[in-house]
Amino acid sequence: MLTTIKYMIKVRNMRSPRTDSKVANQFIIDTNDGQYFQSYETIIAFYENKTGITYLDKNSWDYSRTTGK
């Protein structure tokens, strides 16, 4: 049986603003509701499209110097 997918999720590597190369272990997850930022296996932040608000995980956002950037 075929069905229509109504919720889209796409995962892509973050890119360095300096070199435009992919940043290892840093991902942007695009969804219908907004964008998640994932570092290694941890979700760090969520940007909500509807409100324009960015939510940070209070336990993970400053896990390392790189993640905090």
Check: pTM over 0.75? Answer yes or no: yes
The answer to whether residue 12 is domain-embedded is no
Domain span at residue 63? 25-68
The answer to whether residue 60 is domain-embedded is yes
The answer to whether residue 11 is domain-embedded is no
Looking at residue 58, its pLDDT comes to 84
3-state secondary structure 2-69: CCCCCCCEEEEEEECCCCCCEEEEEEEEEECCEEEEEECCEEEEEEECCCCCEEECCCCCCCCHHHHC
Number of domains in the chain: 1
Residue-wise pLDDT for 24-55, tens only, equals 999 999 999 999 999 999 999 999 999 999 99
The answer to whether residue 58 is domain-embedded is yes
